[in-house]
Structure formats: C-alpha cells, structure tokens
Structure 1
C-alpha cells in the first residue's frame, strides 16, 4: 500500500504481523519494528522473508524510502539524508506509531543515524546494522583487495570516486557478490527489486563523500544495538566501532560477527536474530 506522509508524497509500505494480539482476556500491543533498507537506490525487498519470523514478538513494517522502489518518484532536491531521516517521523505519524524500534541496514543505517540526531526522543530503540558514520574509503579498499584481489580494489576505488552509470553496473555485477560470506537465499532477489541507481550515484557525489554522522550520535536517548560483520568490505567493522564510540556509552551495545559480511542477519542468521530478539524484548 502507499501511504501519504506529506502533501503529494507517498511511500510504499508493507506490514507483516498483527500489532494487537489476543492475550487471555486482553489485547496485547506488540512493539513496532520499522526496517530501513539499504542503497541508496535499492528497495525494501531484501528484508523479505528474512524478518517475518520476528512477527511473534513485533509488528514488522518495511517501506521504500522517498523516491525509491515502489514509492512515488520525487525530485532530486529531496534526495537527502535530512529528508529521508525526517520521513521516519512522518511515516510514524501517518500510521500512528509511537516509539518504534528502528533498524537501519547499510544506507538505511545512515538514515537511522541522522534520524537519531534530529529526533533523539522519537524511537524506543535503534539497531544500526552494517553501516558507517562516514565515507572512509581507505578502510573499504584493503578489504575488497583481500576478498577479490587487486582488480577488486581498483574497481571499488574507481566506482566510489567516479560512480558513472557504467562503473555502477560493473561494481554491482562484480563486487556485490563479495559483500556476504553466504550466497543469497534466493537467486531471484536482484530481479524482484526495483532499483533507482540514479539516486545512488547522486548521493555518493553530493553527500556521501563529506558525510560525518558521528557528532549527532551523542544526542541519542535510547538503547542502540550496533551490529557489524568482520568480513564486510563496504562497511568494515572499524566503522561500527566509530559509531559505538560516538554514542553515549551507557546506551550502546556493539556486536561483531566473525563469519559475516554485509548484514549478519544474512550470513549468521541464527546468532543475529537471537540478538535482535533479545534486544527487542529487553
């Protein structure tokens, strides 16, 4: 379904599981887990069906960021972290969600970090999964070289410094398979997704190179779980360590998964989802 979050702005939203469930003589309200997808330029479909098992403890909501996927196209001047971060609040207001648990994966973690800075009292909890607070190209390149050799390093550097259409296509084809230590659950994932790679290229050139989300993290007022994969080439674990160091020490928990790449819930699902369950229920 498409939900209007501002005049003329509609986001594609999907809901998995009841929010209100029978519990003896009462109806019990489950927390809302709001999932922010990666990219930019990708969509929410990568979360499906991996997060459906959490519906016994939370209502799981996925959506496509403004301008992405099945959400309505939007003009280029709206493709900013501030806009996408504020959309988390706009969407919650439209759906009547109070105190969501917000999980940001990769680029969704950029959005979640900016959301934490701009709206620190809004979430109940936040999960930052395989994400970064800054560009940190110098950390990415050695990991790409370790996983794919000198050619992988060169291609990564070429793409991140000059994300033309041709370089983007080659990067996704040749280097995306290095992101994870396990093959995808389905070979059809790329075909199911709706891509807006012009948003990816625009964001890299206009915002990502100068992005530094660390100062805003000090404003956090809720528990934050930071999850990193030790084999992640695009958001290396040192980036998650920077995030954890920038958050209030009494609110943050950092977990690094030795066998995981980009998204421990993809590569070590049993351990990662156990941690998510514990965090949601705490």
Structure 2
C-alpha cells in the first residue's frame, strides 16, 4: 500500500498483528520499522528473514522516498534530514508510538537522522552494518583484504567520484565481497542507480554525513550489530559508532565471519539478537500491557 507522507506516497508493507488476544483482553505489540539500505534498493532485502519476528512485533516495511515503489518527490529532498523526518511523519500518520527503528547500512544513516532529530520519539534503535561517518581509508583497506588491489582500486575510484561506468565496475567487482553468502536478495529489488550516485561520494550527502557528536542526544536503548568482514562497515568504523553513543544505552554485537548482510550471513543469530533486544528488561513499551479494551 502507499501512504502519503510529507507530500509523497511511500510504499509500506506490514507483517504481524498490532493487537493480539491475551485472555479476556487485547494486547498491543511493539512496532518494528525496517529501513532498507542503499540508497537505491528497497525493503524486499529484509524478506523473509524479518518475518520470523512477526510473532513478537508488528513489522512495518517502508521504501524511502526515491526508492523502490515509493514516489520520487523532488530529488532536492533526497537528503538524510528529509528521509529521517519521513520516518517520524510516517509514524504520525499511522499512529505509531515509541517504535523500534531498525536501520541497515544506508537505512542506519536514516535511523540516525530520525533519532537525532526526534530524540524523544523512538522506543529503541537497531543499527546494523552502518556508520556514524563515512571513513574511506578503513573501507578501502577492507576491500583490499577481501578482494586484493583490484577491488581496492575499483572501490576507491567509485567512492571518490561516482559515475555510471565506475558504478558498473563497482557492482561487478566489489558488491560480491559484501556478503559471505552472496548478494542474491538484491535480484528481487527495484534498483535505482541514479539515487545512489546522487548520494554517494565525498562532495555529496554521504561525504558530508557526520553523526558522531549528534548521537549523544539519543535517549533510547540502542543495539549495534556489525560483521567483522564487512567492507562497508569495518571494525574501526563500528567502534566509532558505538563510542559516539551514550554508553549506558548501547549494546554492541559483533558477528564473526560475517560481511555487510548480517541477515543473510548469519540469519539465526541476527534474529536471535534482535529478538533478545526487543524483549530486554531495559525496553519499556508503554503499549505492551494487557489493558486494551
């Protein structure tokens, strides 16, 4: 379905009930909002892995504006601030309070934009395979480690100055290094290379992005998940993200032998860690009480 949010129609899909029978009453479940990576792909990369959480939470999948099945809107609004505000506005339209926002890769950038611009709104954050700041040298070093000098050279060429030709070479040479089990889920996605190239690069939004100072404003529990063989989120970058968050609110889970797609490389453990986070005592869901008449 498409829902109008901030002047554009966003594609939204939902799994799981928001209200479930609990004896003589109905009980509300938490809402997990899934923000996909890219930019330039769509929410289908999360399916079917996240479906197993629908017994615990209502899952709301959304394609960011300019991505997937959502409207483009004005390309001038393809910014992290706008994408983050869209998450808040989507919750307002749907009546979602205290959501758990799960952002993977670029979706993690959007989750950080949302949470730092609206710090009192989220009930929890899950930041998977993502960065607080794009740091090129650790990324190139990991591509070199995983794919040799050729992979490093192709990655450096694209990230320093994205063009259609360089993106094509990057997709052929570097993308297979993202995941230990392959990137087959992308074959189901509606891919938008123009959105990616408008965002990527040192002179574009990704190059200017820096949430390190802003993350101190976070007020909810945060789960950070990262693979130790992820070329786009090398260990040093994950540690920067974790170190920028309030220490009493953050939990860090490192996945050994995993790349950029944790749900693909170690599905069972990723789902187990997310499930445990949602059910943790530190998570206070005001709606999760058997008091709904």
Using the size of structure 2 for normalisation, the TM-score is: 0.92
> Equivalent of 2:211, from 210, 213, 216?
213
- Alpha carbons 1:133, 1:214 under 8 Å: kept: yes
Distance in 1 separating the partners of 2:15 and 2:64:
18
Give the match for residue 225 of structure 1. 223
The structure, 1 or 2, with the larger RCO (C-alpha pairs under 8 Å, 6+ apart) is 2
Q: Are 2:189 and 1:193 equivalent residues in the alignment?
A: yes
Q: CA deviation at 1:26?
A: 1.1
User: What does residue 257 of structure 2 align with?
Assistant: 259
Aligned counterpart, 1:2: 2
* Counterpart in the other structure of 2:284: none
Whole-Å Cα distance in 2 between the matches of residues 243 and 101 of structure 1? 18
State the Cα deviation string for residues 80-135 of structure 1 (Å, max 9, x = none). Answer: 00000000101001111011000000000011111111011100000000001111
Deviation string for 1:8-45 (max 9, x for gaps)? x1100000111111111111111000000000111111
Query: Is the Cα contact below 8 Å between 1:228 and 1:263 reproduced in 2?
Result: no
Residue in 2 aligned with 1:127?
Answer: 126
How far did 1:73 drift? 1.6
Quote the offset at 1:150 in angstroms. Answer: 0.6
Matched with 1:202 is: 198
Verify: 1:69 aligned to 2:58, yes or no: no
SS at match of 2:71: coil
Give the alignment of 1:175-190 within 5 angstroms: 175-184=174-183, 187=184, 189-190=185-186
8 Å contact from structure 1 (residues 105, 129) kept in 2: yes
The size of the alignment, in residue pairs, is: 278
Shift of 1:182: 1.6
How far apart, CA to CA, are the structure 1 residues paired with 2:163 and 2:276?
A: 42
Q: Tell me which residue corresponds to 1:91.
A: 90
TM-score, length-normalised on structure 1?
Answer: 0.96
* Residue in 1 that maps onto 2:100: 101
Structure 1 SS opposite 2:171: helix
TM-fit CA distance, 1:6? 2.4
Unaligned ranges ≥5, structure 1: none
Unaligned segments of structure 2, at least 5 residues: 281-293
* Whole-angstrom CA distance in 1 between matches of 2:189 and 2:172: 15
Whole-angstrom distance in 2 between the partners of 1:71 and 1:272: 27
Provide the rounded CA distance (Å) in 2 between the counterparts of 1:31 and 1:259.
31
Cα RMSD of the aligned pairs, angstroms, is 1.1
Deviations 1:52-87 (A, max 9, x none): 000010001101001111001222110100000000
Question: Does the CA contact (< 8 Å) of 1:230 and 1:256 recur in 2?
Answer: yes
- Cα distance, 1:269 vs. partner? 1.5
CA distance in 2, matches of 1:219, 1:126: 13
